[in-house]
Structure 1
């Protein structure tokens, strides 16, 4: 039987989900704070607003992807019932590193943490789908059964 080279476990999904939720709460708290409103000059303040939206987008895509994976593994959604596009991690624009370097340390930390988490989940997603495409259908079905029991 073809053994997958990469496996996503419920423990990994739960750990990433917890990390994403904590980071989302920290980002919301920081970007909504008075400290964030005091950023200047104007070009950095505008970039700050854009980066806060990028952080939110990254984290929401990660959370949605992880919830989808949880639902698939719980049998609430069958992988064959969803279109691949809906199961892939959504697109999130890259950070403007030059502008981010002009922002407060706490903002930089949150921005970089959201990028790091997003790219880790993106690598996991890519491995899963590359593996599925290269595995013959009977082996995919057997592997799906094995993961569920």
Structure 2
């Protein structure tokens, strides 16, 4: 998924699959944090309730950043946006909110699963985001080794 590469069916399918995954996860998170987790949230102590609310916002933030990035990639694939424009910092994925593992352990299991899923999805999309930067591949150790081997033979 490097900038300037032509659209491939695999690339299109990957973006579409990730988009569906992100939208389903966003719907699950909204449903749980707004309604389904209400009873579990009320059973928590005051500090844990605040933590629950903060983690809810972090999940939402991660997912909205991922969805925005995926929509940008769809725009590139359909020709609505130049690939070089997708590299603008305002269109890049950026860092996701940090969640401490000890914090996750204090949440109800459904909340833990949603937090973990949002972190995992953000990490996977972050790898794609980094791969689109032209220098990313040139800087990889594997690429450097291949270049040295090519020079040697």
Report the TM-score, using the length of structure 2 for normalisation: 0.76
> Is residue 30–residue 36 contact of structure 1 (8 Å, CA) maintained in 2?
no
- Distance in 2 between the 1:31 and 1:84 partners? 33
Q: Once the 2 structures are TM-superposed, how far is the Cα of residue 42 of structure 1 from its aligned partner?
A: 1.1
Return 17-26 or 37-46, whichever deviates more. 37-46
Q: Once the 2 structures are TM-superposed, how far is the Cα of residue 104 of structure 1 from its aligned partner?
A: 0.6
1:122-137 matched pairs, under 5 angstroms: 122-131=126-135, 134=138
Out of 68, 72, 94, the residue aligned to residue 68 of structure 1 is 72
> Is residue 20–residue 117 contact of structure 1 (8 Å, CA) maintained in 2?
yes
Q: Which residue of 2 aligns with 1:23?
A: 25
Q: What are the ranges of 5 or more consecutive residues in structure 1 without an aligned counterpart?
A: 135-149
Aligned residues: 129
Q: What are the ranges of 5 or more consecutive residues in structure 2 without an aligned counterpart?
A: 139-153
Is 1:101 the equivalent of 2:105?
Answer: yes
SS for the counterpart of 2:48 is helix
> Is residue 87–residue 133 contact of structure 2 (8 Å, CA) maintained in 1?
no
Task: Give CA deviations for 1:74-119 in whole Å, capped at 9, x if unaligned.
Answer: 0111123456202310332111211210111000000000000000
SS for the counterpart of 1:94 is coil
Return 27-36 or 102-111, whichever deviates more. 27-36
- Distance in 2 between the 1:97 and 1:39 partners? 21
- Distance in 2 between the 1:111 and 1:84 partners? 28
> Is residue 73–residue 86 contact of structure 2 (8 Å, CA) maintained in 1?
no
Is 1:113 the equivalent of 2:78?
Answer: no
Please report the RMSD computed on the Cα atoms of aligned residues, expressed in angstroms. 2.1
Task: Give CA deviations for 1:115-144 in whole Å, capped at 9, x if unaligned.
Answer: 00000000111112145784xxxxxxxxxx
